[in-house]
Chains A and B, each alone.
Chain A
């Protein structure tokens, strides 16, 4: 009998073009998504070396990082950003790479549009010059972020030279309580394993609480896998996955569908497959999560407090906690619900999907932003925006005082002018609370969309479960 294999083993082994003597593998890449920030060096070198794109049908480009989220269609004011944006368009045209233009209804954040267009499929290998490529693992595909040199390698050869990572399994069983989302689940997981807990591994998420998630929730979980140190997260494809993929523009067509389904159903991990590392969490014990510090692992439940450095395990941890508390302008042992915010950001590749818009609107319904709070909602794509508007979510949100903007990465990376002022404190649905991430000396607390909307309305963090009407 053959050795039982994990989902990861199966995808990896079916994509090895050749094994190298040095222990690395030449891995075939089925889909390559790209954007303006990390693709230009590759195109530049390819032009110099007179190399074409190996397969233009296996790459899809979209501008997302530097584009403004208001005044769509107007000239981009920032010269550098405009040049970078125009360079992407020029490169795609010259090399024959399909591009979703800025004014197209399908434009959006690269990790939102891949799944929407059906480019993201079970069993494939998918890369993008962006660490949040982990998102696509929600479909049971091996998806990971790469740097610009690797972007060029994929454009030129459709392959990557990689060292095989190890298998890690994170099981979440039981039921999430009402008002607790995939975002809270992944924040709790990162809190448990730490920001380097998955380094060198591909994480497979299993368990009843994972299966119960929608594709949107699964994408949120896989998206932040990189914040736990693993380059890729995976969830086995099931009926929820197949239902989402079917009929999308780049998905298998009707003639191919049955064959694809037959293959996809062979992908889930075999029983008794071995993992190098295992972690388990009980979904029922997960409360809405809020980060207090400057690393995603600095996270506590909403009824928790800012930690006390004197209680830290060692000197390094104590120094890190002290530095984070000082940067965040907090005090040890302060209850999370006493932390006031003056900004909220709802959007990003972590939480910019229709379900996230619905969760924010549900909380905002019939309420008003607290005095002095500015809140931005940035749908992840033009299709999410249109769907939300068809459901009237934009009206509900703007009536409550939230800004309703055009799609893009926006204040998750703050490259496009959507930025916090020094000292501003933001309830953010994005993925990184690093120092300066949303603007120099800005203070980011990572939360779910419902929790961000609730904080914006109350002016401080609250348990969204107490707010439910």
Chain B
């Protein structure tokens, strides 16, 4: 897994509640067996018209947000389908950090697994960041995970909270499966105990 340290770049805003994973990446990108190039499908129906021409009004089609590294959005971002294509497409586009008042649970877990930093922040603070980000002159920000700060273009800094376990995972880019596999013995002990009590869960 990629590590997360510090990222700097434009922050784009998407003022919309309940943005579901179908909006983040629609179904036509789900039948491939590759993660490569999913960034072009990010927010597909917002970004392109029915003839696949760019919609000039959408934030990610405007400078300097074409190269956005950060997304600031509203409540319950990432609700709906469990598709991991959602974090993959954000990552492939170049967005490694999303800031919102709340996120949906499965999307939240999927982002942890892909080294994306989700920052949960009070709505008032999010609104202030949106105002700063909406101005192309001031939209560049630096997100520093170690310091837990977002440094704005004018040098002011906004702090954020993150659970220690999530912070550590992002900092170290840990491979969860390797870590769990080191606990084979504990898993085997659990299985032996369970099999003795509930043999019907173990099929020949």
B-binding residues in A (CB < 8 A): 17-18, 20, 22-24, 26, 28, 30, 37-38, 40-41, 44, 49, 51, 54, 57-58, 65-66, 78, 80-81, 83-84, 87, 121, 124, 129-131, 145-150, 152-153, 156-159, 161, 165, 195-196, 199-200, 226-227, 229-231, 250-253, 256, 259-260, 263, 295, 297, 316-317, 319-320, 323, 413-415, 422, 432, 434-437, 440-441
Contacts and interface: CB of A to CB of B under 8 A. Distances in A.
B147 interface: no
Given A23-B165, A30-B201, A149 B113 contact: yes
Contacts of B194: 28
A414 B76 contact: no
A156 B181 contact: yes
A199 B110 contact: no
Given A157-B187, A199-B104, A436-B22, A26 B180 contact: yes
Nearest to B167: A22
Given A145-B82, A196-B75, A415-B30, A124 B201 contact: yes
A100 to B, nearest CB: 15
A105 B168 CA distance: 48
Given A30-B201, A38-B82, A66-B31, A146 B76 contact: no
Given A24-B165, A41-B35, A131-B80, A422 B203 contact: no
Contact of B187 (A66, A158, A414): A158
A363 to B, nearest CB: 29
A370 B27 CA distance: 30
Given A22-B164, A81-B31, A252-B200, A147 B80 contact: no
Interface in B143-202: 163-165, 168, 176-177, 180-181, 183, 186-187, 190-191, 194, 197-202
Closest 8 CB pairs of A and B: A22-B165, A252-B200, A149-B113, A147-B110, A147-B84, A256-B200, A57-B203, A196-B76
B166 to A, nearest CB: 9
B183 A26 contact: yes
A81 B202 CA distance: 34
A51 B197 CA distance: 29
B202 A148 contact: no
Contacts of B137: none
